[in-house]
Protein backbone atom coordinates (compact mmCIF):
# COMPACT_ATOMS: atom_id res chain seq x y z
CA UNK A 1 0.00 0.00 0.00
CA UNK A 2 1.16 3.51 -0.79
CA UNK A 3 1.34 6.26 1.82
CA UNK A 4 -1.86 7.93 0.61
CA UNK A 5 -3.79 4.66 0.88
CA UNK A 6 -2.40 3.97 4.33
CA UNK A 7 -3.30 7.45 5.55
CA UNK A 8 -6.85 7.19 4.26
CA UNK A 9 -7.35 3.75 5.80
CA UNK A 10 -5.97 4.79 9.18
CA UNK A 11 -7.98 8.02 9.22
CA UNK A 12 -11.15 6.00 8.64
CA UNK A 13 -10.41 3.96 11.76
CA UNK A 14 -9.04 6.76 13.94
CA UNK A 15 -5.52 5.28 13.95
CA UNK A 16 -3.46 7.90 12.09
CA UNK A 17 -0.94 8.08 14.96
CA UNK A 18 0.61 4.86 13.61
CA UNK A 19 2.30 6.92 10.86
CA UNK A 20 3.86 9.41 13.27
CA UNK A 21 7.45 8.37 12.40
CA UNK A 22 6.87 7.51 8.73
CA UNK A 23 9.26 10.17 7.46
CA UNK A 24 12.08 8.76 9.61
CA UNK A 25 11.77 5.23 8.23
CA UNK A 26 13.90 3.72 5.49
CA UNK A 27 12.37 1.75 2.65
CA UNK A 28 12.48 -1.58 4.52
CA UNK A 29 10.88 -0.06 7.62
CA UNK A 30 8.09 1.51 5.59
CA UNK A 31 7.44 -1.77 3.79
CA UNK A 32 7.23 -3.66 7.07
CA UNK A 33 4.83 -1.21 8.70
CA UNK A 34 2.68 -0.93 5.57
CA UNK A 35 2.43 -4.72 5.35
CA UNK A 36 1.34 -4.98 8.97
CA UNK A 37 -1.30 -2.28 8.55
CA UNK A 38 -2.64 -3.97 5.42
CA UNK A 39 -3.16 -7.20 7.39
CA UNK A 40 -5.03 -5.61 10.32
CA UNK A 41 -8.47 -7.12 10.90
CA UNK A 42 -10.43 -3.97 11.69
CA UNK A 43 -13.45 -5.95 12.87
CA UNK A 44 -11.19 -7.45 15.51
CA UNK A 45 -9.81 -4.09 16.60
CA UNK A 46 -13.35 -2.80 16.94
CA UNK A 47 -14.06 -5.41 19.63
CA UNK A 48 -11.71 -3.74 22.13
CA UNK A 49 -13.63 -2.55 25.15
CA UNK A 50 -16.88 -4.17 23.97
CA UNK A 51 -16.56 -7.73 25.28
CA UNK A 52 -18.49 -8.27 28.51
CA UNK A 53 -17.40 -10.92 30.99
CA UNK A 54 -18.86 -14.14 29.59
CA UNK A 55 -21.29 -15.83 31.93
CA UNK A 56 -20.84 -19.58 32.12
CA UNK A 57 -23.77 -21.68 30.95
CA UNK A 58 -25.34 -24.69 32.59
CA UNK A 59 -22.67 -27.35 33.03
CA UNK A 60 -22.89 -31.09 33.58
CA UNK A 61 -20.49 -34.03 33.32
CA UNK A 62 -19.63 -35.41 29.89
CA UNK A 63 -19.66 -39.12 29.04
CA UNK A 64 -16.04 -40.22 28.78
CA UNK A 65 -14.22 -43.33 27.65
CA UNK A 66 -12.53 -44.76 30.74
CA UNK A 67 -9.29 -46.73 30.90
CA UNK A 68 -11.26 -49.93 31.61
CA UNK A 69 -13.51 -49.40 28.58
CA UNK A 70 -10.50 -48.62 26.38
CA UNK A 71 -8.71 -51.79 27.51
CA UNK A 72 -11.81 -53.90 26.80
CA UNK A 73 -12.02 -52.58 23.21
CA UNK A 74 -8.32 -51.93 22.57
CA UNK A 75 -7.98 -54.41 19.70
CA UNK A 76 -11.08 -52.99 17.97
CA UNK A 77 -10.00 -49.37 18.35
CA UNK A 78 -6.42 -50.13 17.35
CA UNK A 79 -7.52 -51.86 14.14
CA UNK A 80 -9.69 -48.89 13.11
CA UNK A 81 -6.91 -46.42 13.94
CA UNK A 82 -4.18 -48.37 12.16
CA UNK A 83 -6.35 -48.57 9.05
CA UNK A 84 -6.86 -44.79 9.03
CA UNK A 85 -3.16 -44.08 9.58
CA UNK A 86 -2.07 -46.59 6.94
CA UNK A 87 -4.48 -44.90 4.50
CA UNK A 88 -2.76 -41.55 5.13
CA UNK A 89 -5.81 -40.03 6.78
CA UNK A 90 -4.04 -38.73 9.91
CA UNK A 91 -1.61 -35.81 10.30
CA UNK A 92 0.13 -34.54 13.42
CA UNK A 93 0.27 -30.85 14.33
CA UNK A 94 2.82 -29.69 16.91
CA UNK A 95 2.10 -26.34 18.56
CA UNK A 96 5.65 -25.11 19.16
CA UNK A 97 5.48 -21.33 19.21
CA UNK A 98 6.71 -20.89 22.77
CA UNK A 99 10.10 -19.89 24.10
CA UNK A 100 11.92 -21.59 26.97
CA UNK A 101 11.89 -18.42 29.08
CA UNK A 102 10.46 -20.06 32.21
CA UNK A 103 13.12 -22.76 31.89
CA UNK A 104 15.90 -20.18 31.83
CA UNK A 105 16.45 -20.41 28.07
CA UNK A 106 16.00 -17.91 25.26
CA UNK A 107 15.74 -20.71 22.66
CA UNK A 108 12.50 -22.33 21.43
CA UNK A 109 10.98 -24.39 24.21
CA UNK A 110 11.24 -27.56 22.14
CA UNK A 111 15.01 -27.06 21.90
CA UNK A 112 15.43 -27.39 25.67
CA UNK A 113 17.77 -30.19 26.75
CA UNK A 114 16.10 -32.51 29.28
CA UNK A 115 18.93 -35.05 29.20
CA UNK A 116 21.14 -35.83 32.19
CA UNK A 117 24.06 -37.94 30.96
CA UNK A 118 23.54 -37.09 27.29
CA UNK A 119 21.58 -34.53 25.29
CA UNK A 120 17.87 -35.22 24.88
CA UNK A 121 15.77 -32.36 23.55
CA UNK A 122 12.03 -31.93 23.94
CA UNK A 123 11.61 -31.94 20.15
CA UNK A 124 13.68 -35.12 19.97
CA UNK A 125 11.56 -36.96 22.51
CA UNK A 126 8.34 -35.94 20.76
CA UNK A 127 9.68 -37.21 17.43
CA UNK A 128 10.57 -40.51 19.13
CA UNK A 129 7.01 -40.77 20.41
CA UNK A 130 5.61 -40.10 16.93
CA UNK A 131 8.01 -42.64 15.42
CA UNK A 132 6.57 -45.30 17.73
CA UNK A 133 3.15 -44.83 16.10
CA UNK A 134 4.75 -44.91 12.65
CA UNK A 135 6.50 -48.18 13.50
CA UNK A 136 3.26 -49.71 14.80
CA UNK A 137 1.25 -48.71 11.75
CA UNK A 138 3.82 -49.00 8.98
CA UNK A 139 3.05 -45.57 7.53
CA UNK A 140 4.75 -42.19 7.94
CA UNK A 141 2.57 -39.49 9.48
CA UNK A 142 3.00 -35.96 8.10
CA UNK A 143 4.09 -33.55 10.82
CA UNK A 144 3.14 -29.87 10.75
CA UNK A 145 5.07 -27.69 13.20
CA UNK A 146 3.55 -24.35 14.16
CA UNK A 147 6.17 -21.81 15.13
CA UNK A 148 5.89 -18.17 16.16
CA UNK A 149 7.29 -15.03 14.64
CA UNK A 150 9.89 -15.00 17.41
CA UNK A 151 11.14 -18.58 17.10
CA UNK A 152 10.45 -19.63 13.51
CA UNK A 153 13.99 -19.31 12.20
CA UNK A 154 15.55 -20.87 15.28
CA UNK A 155 13.13 -23.81 15.23
CA UNK A 156 13.75 -24.60 11.56
CA UNK A 157 17.51 -24.33 12.08
CA UNK A 158 17.36 -26.60 15.15
CA UNK A 159 15.56 -29.34 13.21
CA UNK A 160 18.05 -29.06 10.34
CA UNK A 161 21.03 -29.07 12.73
CA UNK A 162 19.80 -32.34 14.24
CA UNK A 163 18.81 -33.95 10.92
CA UNK A 164 15.13 -33.81 11.94
CA UNK A 165 15.93 -36.32 14.69
CA UNK A 166 15.77 -39.13 12.17
CA UNK A 167 12.29 -38.30 10.86
CA UNK A 168 12.12 -37.88 7.07
CA UNK A 169 12.50 -34.18 6.27
CA UNK A 170 10.00 -34.47 3.42
CA UNK A 171 7.27 -35.29 5.97
CA UNK A 172 7.86 -32.17 8.11
CA UNK A 173 6.35 -28.78 7.31
CA UNK A 174 6.76 -25.56 9.29
CA UNK A 175 4.26 -22.72 9.43
CA UNK A 176 4.09 -19.55 11.46
CA UNK A 177 1.25 -18.69 13.79
CA UNK A 178 -0.73 -15.66 12.69
CA UNK A 179 -0.16 -12.52 14.72
CA UNK A 180 -2.75 -10.03 15.94
CA UNK A 181 -2.09 -6.38 16.81
CA UNK A 182 -2.45 -5.21 20.39
CA UNK A 183 -4.32 -2.05 21.30
CA UNK A 184 -4.27 0.28 24.26
CA UNK A 185 -7.19 0.39 26.67
CA UNK A 186 -8.48 3.29 24.56
CA UNK A 187 -8.63 1.07 21.47
CA UNK A 188 -5.65 2.73 19.77
CA UNK A 189 -3.10 0.51 18.02
CA UNK A 190 0.17 0.23 19.91
CA UNK A 191 3.61 0.35 18.30
CA UNK A 192 6.55 -1.74 19.47
CA UNK A 193 8.97 0.22 17.27
CA UNK A 194 8.70 3.13 14.86
CA UNK A 195 8.34 0.66 12.01
CA UNK A 196 6.25 -2.02 13.73
CA UNK A 197 2.89 -2.53 15.36
CA UNK A 198 2.85 -4.30 18.72
CA UNK A 199 1.94 -7.84 17.67
CA UNK A 200 1.22 -11.01 19.62
CA UNK A 201 0.25 -14.60 18.68
CA UNK A 202 -3.46 -15.08 18.02
CA UNK A 203 -3.94 -17.88 20.57
CA UNK A 204 -3.79 -21.67 20.29
CA UNK A 205 -7.18 -21.67 18.57
CA UNK A 206 -5.54 -19.97 15.59
CA UNK A 207 -3.55 -23.01 14.50
CA UNK A 208 -5.91 -24.13 11.71
CA UNK A 209 -6.35 -20.64 10.26
CA UNK A 210 -2.56 -20.29 10.27
CA UNK A 211 -2.22 -23.71 8.59
CA UNK A 212 -4.75 -22.65 5.94
CA UNK A 213 -3.08 -19.32 5.23
CA UNK A 214 0.25 -21.08 4.80
CA UNK A 215 -1.36 -23.25 2.12
CA UNK A 216 -0.68 -26.38 4.13
CA UNK A 217 -4.27 -27.35 4.99
CA UNK A 218 -5.05 -27.62 1.28
CA UNK A 219 -1.83 -29.58 0.76
CA UNK A 220 -2.61 -31.99 3.62
CA UNK A 221 -6.18 -32.57 2.56
CA UNK A 222 -5.11 -33.08 -1.10
CA UNK A 223 -2.93 -35.90 0.28
CA UNK A 224 -6.00 -37.46 1.84
CA UNK A 225 -5.69 -36.17 5.43
CA UNK A 226 -9.05 -36.35 7.19
CA UNK A 227 -7.94 -36.01 10.82
CA UNK A 228 -5.49 -33.70 12.59
CA UNK A 229 -3.93 -34.76 15.90
CA UNK A 230 -3.00 -31.47 17.58
CA UNK A 231 -0.69 -31.38 20.59
CA UNK A 232 1.40 -28.95 22.63
CA UNK A 233 5.17 -28.99 22.78
CA UNK A 234 5.58 -29.32 26.53
CA UNK A 235 4.25 -32.83 27.32
CA UNK A 236 7.20 -35.14 26.64
CA UNK A 237 5.32 -38.39 27.33
CA UNK A 238 2.35 -37.80 25.07
CA UNK A 239 1.50 -40.18 22.25
CA UNK A 240 0.73 -38.67 18.85
CA UNK A 241 -1.14 -40.45 16.05
CA UNK A 242 -1.99 -43.04 18.69
CA UNK A 243 -3.97 -45.66 16.73
CA UNK A 244 -6.13 -46.57 19.73
CA UNK A 245 -7.14 -42.92 20.27
CA UNK A 246 -7.67 -42.37 16.55
CA UNK A 247 -9.72 -45.54 16.23
CA UNK A 248 -11.86 -44.82 19.27
CA UNK A 249 -12.68 -41.31 18.02
CA UNK A 250 -13.56 -42.54 14.53
CA UNK A 251 -15.65 -45.40 15.92
CA UNK A 252 -17.54 -43.00 18.18
CA UNK A 253 -18.74 -40.90 15.24
CA UNK A 254 -17.68 -37.76 17.12
CA UNK A 255 -16.16 -34.75 15.37
CA UNK A 256 -13.33 -34.46 17.89
CA UNK A 257 -11.46 -36.49 20.47
CA UNK A 258 -9.61 -35.24 23.55
CA UNK A 259 -7.13 -37.10 25.70
CA UNK A 260 -7.57 -36.47 29.41
CA UNK A 261 -6.19 -37.50 32.79
CA UNK A 262 -8.26 -37.93 35.92
CA UNK A 263 -7.71 -34.98 38.24
CA UNK A 264 -5.82 -35.95 41.37
CA UNK A 265 -7.64 -33.38 43.49
CA UNK A 266 -10.27 -30.65 43.04
CA UNK A 267 -7.60 -27.94 43.16
CA UNK A 268 -5.41 -29.33 40.36
CA UNK A 269 -4.74 -26.56 37.84
CA UNK A 270 -6.06 -28.15 34.67
CA UNK A 271 -9.10 -27.33 32.58
CA UNK A 272 -12.00 -29.77 32.80
CA UNK A 273 -13.90 -31.34 29.91
CA UNK A 274 -17.65 -31.17 30.46
CA UNK A 275 -20.89 -30.21 28.74
CA UNK A 276 -21.93 -26.57 28.77
CA UNK A 277 -25.44 -25.87 27.56
CA UNK A 278 -25.36 -29.33 26.03
CA UNK A 279 -22.16 -28.79 24.03
CA UNK A 280 -18.69 -30.18 24.82
CA UNK A 281 -16.29 -27.66 26.21
CA UNK A 282 -13.52 -26.93 28.67
CA UNK A 283 -14.04 -25.08 31.93
CA UNK A 284 -10.83 -23.63 33.33
CA UNK A 285 -9.98 -24.70 36.88
CA UNK A 286 -10.45 -21.16 38.21
CA UNK A 287 -13.95 -20.95 36.70
CA UNK A 288 -15.31 -23.84 38.79
CA UNK A 289 -16.67 -22.78 42.14
CA UNK A 290 -15.48 -24.74 45.16
CA UNK A 291 -18.75 -26.67 45.57
CA UNK A 292 -18.83 -27.83 41.93
CA UNK A 293 -15.13 -28.68 41.87
CA UNK A 294 -15.56 -30.88 44.95
CA UNK A 295 -18.66 -32.79 43.80
CA UNK A 296 -18.22 -36.58 43.98
CA UNK A 297 -20.25 -39.49 42.62
CA UNK A 298 -21.49 -42.56 44.52
CA UNK A 299 -18.09 -44.21 44.06
CA UNK A 300 -16.35 -41.24 45.65
CA UNK A 301 -14.80 -40.03 42.37
CA UNK A 302 -14.75 -36.40 41.36
CA UNK A 303 -17.70 -35.64 39.10
CA UNK A 304 -15.70 -33.08 37.11
CA UNK A 305 -12.47 -35.00 36.78
CA UNK A 306 -11.59 -35.01 33.05
CA UNK A 307 -8.43 -32.88 33.06
CA UNK A 308 -7.41 -31.80 29.55
CA UNK A 309 -3.88 -32.45 28.31
CA UNK A 310 -3.99 -30.42 25.06
CA UNK A 311 -3.90 -33.47 22.84
CA UNK A 312 -6.88 -33.32 20.47
CA UNK A 313 -8.09 -35.02 17.33
CA UNK A 314 -10.13 -32.90 14.88
CA UNK A 315 -11.95 -33.95 11.72
CA UNK A 316 -10.78 -31.86 8.76
CA UNK A 317 -14.20 -31.09 7.30
CA UNK A 318 -15.39 -29.82 10.68
CA UNK A 319 -12.34 -27.57 10.96
CA UNK A 320 -13.17 -26.01 7.59
CA UNK A 321 -16.68 -25.26 8.81
CA UNK A 322 -15.42 -23.80 12.07
CA UNK A 323 -12.86 -21.67 10.24
CA UNK A 324 -15.50 -20.24 7.92
CA UNK A 325 -17.78 -19.38 10.85
CA UNK A 326 -14.93 -17.81 12.91
CA UNK A 327 -14.17 -18.67 16.50
CA UNK A 328 -15.11 -16.45 19.42
CA UNK A 329 -12.41 -13.87 20.16
CA UNK A 330 -11.16 -13.54 23.73
CA UNK A 331 -9.86 -10.14 24.74
CA UNK A 332 -7.24 -10.27 27.46
CA UNK A 333 -5.92 -7.24 29.29
CA UNK A 334 -2.13 -7.46 29.41
CA UNK A 335 1.05 -5.51 30.04
CA UNK A 336 2.05 -4.62 26.49
CA UNK A 337 5.40 -2.91 25.81
CA UNK A 338 4.77 0.15 23.64
CA UNK A 339 6.38 3.18 22.05
CA UNK A 340 5.49 6.42 23.83
CA UNK A 341 5.00 9.82 22.18
CA UNK A 342 8.71 10.48 22.43
CA UNK A 343 9.59 7.29 20.56
CA UNK A 344 10.94 5.45 23.62
CA UNK A 345 9.95 1.85 24.39
CA UNK A 346 8.02 1.59 27.66
CA UNK A 347 7.72 -1.61 29.73
CA UNK A 348 4.47 -1.02 31.65
CA UNK A 349 4.10 -2.11 35.27
CA UNK A 350 0.31 -2.44 35.03
CA UNK A 351 -2.13 -3.64 32.39
CA UNK A 352 -2.19 -1.06 29.61
CA UNK A 353 -3.51 -2.90 26.58
CA UNK A 354 -5.59 -5.66 25.08
CA UNK A 355 -4.56 -8.76 23.14
CA UNK A 356 -6.91 -10.75 20.93
CA UNK A 357 -6.87 -14.55 21.07
CA UNK A 358 -8.84 -17.53 19.87
CA UNK A 359 -8.69 -20.71 21.95
CA UNK A 360 -8.59 -24.37 21.03
CA UNK A 361 -11.20 -25.11 23.68
CA UNK A 362 -13.69 -23.11 21.59
CA UNK A 363 -12.86 -25.31 18.59
CA UNK A 364 -14.06 -28.30 20.62
CA UNK A 365 -17.31 -26.54 21.50
CA UNK A 366 -17.92 -25.33 17.94
CA UNK A 367 -17.31 -28.83 16.59
CA UNK A 368 -20.44 -29.92 18.48
CA UNK A 369 -19.28 -33.35 19.68
CA UNK A 370 -16.24 -34.76 21.46
CA UNK A 371 -15.00 -38.10 22.75
CA UNK A 372 -13.06 -37.70 26.02
CA UNK A 373 -10.42 -40.46 26.00
CA UNK A 374 -8.75 -41.30 29.31
CA UNK A 375 -4.98 -41.86 29.47
CA UNK A 376 -2.72 -43.09 32.24
CA UNK A 377 -1.13 -40.09 33.88
CA UNK A 378 2.21 -41.75 34.60
CA UNK A 379 2.54 -43.09 31.05
CA UNK A 380 1.36 -40.12 28.95
CA UNK A 381 1.41 -36.93 31.00
CA UNK A 382 4.69 -35.22 31.84
CA UNK A 383 4.18 -31.50 31.19
CA UNK A 384 7.12 -29.13 31.48
CA UNK A 385 5.92 -25.72 32.63
CA UNK A 386 8.69 -24.83 35.07
CA UNK A 387 12.36 -25.57 35.70
CA UNK A 388 11.74 -26.95 39.19
CA UNK A 389 8.75 -27.91 41.33
CA UNK A 390 5.34 -28.94 39.99
CA UNK A 391 5.11 -29.81 36.26
CA UNK A 392 8.80 -29.17 35.82
CA UNK A 393 11.92 -30.48 34.13
CA UNK A 394 12.57 -32.44 37.33
CA UNK A 395 9.18 -34.18 37.41
CA UNK A 396 9.27 -34.88 33.66
CA UNK A 397 12.71 -36.48 33.94
CA UNK A 398 11.49 -38.74 36.73
CA UNK A 399 8.49 -39.86 34.67
CA UNK A 400 10.59 -40.42 31.55
CA UNK A 401 12.98 -42.63 33.51
CA UNK A 402 10.04 -44.51 35.00
CA UNK A 403 8.91 -45.22 31.43
CA UNK A 404 12.30 -46.58 30.43
CA UNK A 405 13.72 -43.50 28.69
CA UNK A 406 17.47 -43.24 29.26
CA UNK A 407 18.52 -39.74 30.19
Domain spans of the chain, in order of start: 40-402
Residue 80 has pLDDT above 60, yes or no: yes
HSE-CB for 262 with a 13 A CA cutoff = 11
Q: CB of 144 within 8 A of CB of 175?
A: yes
**Does 50 score more than 70 pLDDT?**
no
pTM score: 0.92
Give the CATH fold of the 40-402 domain: Spore Coat Polysaccharide Biosynthesis Protein SpsA; Chain A (3.90.550)
How big, in percent rounded to 5, are the helix, strand and coil portions of the chain?
Answer: 40, 25, 40
- Which residues sit opposite 345 in a β-bridge? 339
- What does the pLDDT read at residue 249? 98
CA dihedral for 258, 264, 267, 269, sign (positive or negative): negative
Dump pLDDT digits (tens) for 36-49.
999 998 988 888 76
pLDDT digits 0-9 by tens, 343-384: 999 999 999 999 999 999 999 999 999 999 999 999 999 999
Question: What gap in Å lies between CA 373 and CA 257, rounded to an integer?
Answer: 7
Tens digit of each residue's pLDDT (9 = 90 or more) over 296-320: 999 999 999 999 999 999 999 999 9
Amino acid sequence: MQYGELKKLLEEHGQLHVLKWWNELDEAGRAQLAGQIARVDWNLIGLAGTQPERARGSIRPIDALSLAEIDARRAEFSAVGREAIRAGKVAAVLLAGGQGTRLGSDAPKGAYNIGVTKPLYIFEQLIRNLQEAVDRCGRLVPLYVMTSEGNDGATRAFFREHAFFGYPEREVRFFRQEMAPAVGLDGKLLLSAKDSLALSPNGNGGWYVSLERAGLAAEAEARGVEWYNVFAVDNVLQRMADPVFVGATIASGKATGAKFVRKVCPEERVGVLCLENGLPGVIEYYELDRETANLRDDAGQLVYSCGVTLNYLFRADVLRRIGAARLPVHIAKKKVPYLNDGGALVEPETENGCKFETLILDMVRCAGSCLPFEIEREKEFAPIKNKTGVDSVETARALLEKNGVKL
